[in-house]
Homo-oligomer: A and B are copies of this chain.
Amino acid sequence: MNLRLYELRGADPARLFSPYVWRVRMALAAKELRAETIPWRFTQKDAIAPHGADRVPVLLHDGRAVRESFAIAEYLEDSFPDRPSLFGGAPGRDLARFVNAWADAVVVPGVARMIMVDIVKLLDPEDADYFRRTREQRFGATLEAVAADRDSAVKAFRQTLHPLRMVVRSQPFLSGQAPMQADNIVFGCFQWARCTSPFRLLEPDDPIEAWRQRMLDLHGGLARNVPAFD
């Protein structure tokens, strides 16, 4: 078995971010699988084009390419059914789709507007130009202007996390007593921020912060032991 994962890296290749790549890294660890890393940068489109992809993560399994983080998690679940489950069966998998859609619609853009201004500092010049241009187009303002009100915007952001807060204050993980892919999906967003920005998204007494710490402890501190800001 040969697993290789294209991962987004910064100018310093030890700087590993992308919320979507983190979802897959956590999924691989939960499945007790090791993948060889292929560092990738935003502007290296040519490197992944042969795999039908224009962004990462891309997982290569014995040469077969699997794209998009949720599809990769499903692929791992189906390809390695005897290893710890990422979904705990069909209903868990189907509802994890909703968690994925919520994270992508609410958490990713909410975090992005606050940390993009810091991400750009971690990129090599070519990637930084690409990142600034595409993100400023998407948000219709400079990265600095988007982030200018983040000290107040973070309060509204924290309110959008209320459904997550309600759950993790009454059970240790979003998925229940043990973490599963739904946890990895949301955690990826926070780990993206942790790896790229000193800006504090959560208050110390937020139950989500306690859950994030539990996620950082998993797999021997896989997510904790990387270059990061807190």
> A residues bordering B, Cβ < 8 Å?
87-99, 101-102, 104-106, 162-164, 166-167, 170-171, 173-177, 180, 182
Contacts A95-B99, A101-B163 given; 9 further ones with Cβ under 8 A? A90-B176, A91-B92, A91-B95, A92-B92, A95-B96, A98-B99, A98-B163, A101-B164, A101-B167
| Chain B residues near A176 (CB-CB < 8 A) | 90-91, 93-94
Question: A113 CA to B90 CA in the complex, in Å?
Answer: 35
Closest residue of chain B to A87 (Cβ to Cβ) is B91
Judging by beta carbons under 8 Å apart, are A97 and B171 in contact? Answer: yes
Q: How many copies does the complex hold?
A: 2
Interface hub of A98, A164, A177 (most chain B Cβ within 10 A): A98
Shortest Cβ distance from residue A83 to the other chain B in the assembled complex, whole angstroms:
16
Within the assembled complex, what's the spacing in Å between the Cα atoms of A90 and B88? 8
Which of B87, B102, B173 is within 8 Å of A163, CB to CB? Answer: B102
Complex alpha-carbon distance, A102 and B182, angstroms: 14
* Pair B99/A166 contact, Cβ less than 8 Å: no
Given contacts A95-B182, A96-B95, A98-B167, contact A162 B90 (CB under 8 A): no
Using known A-B contacts A88-B89, A88-B90, A102-B102, determine if residue A95 contacts B175 with beta carbons closer than 8 Å. yes
Q: A101 touching B175 by the CB < 8 A rule?
A: no
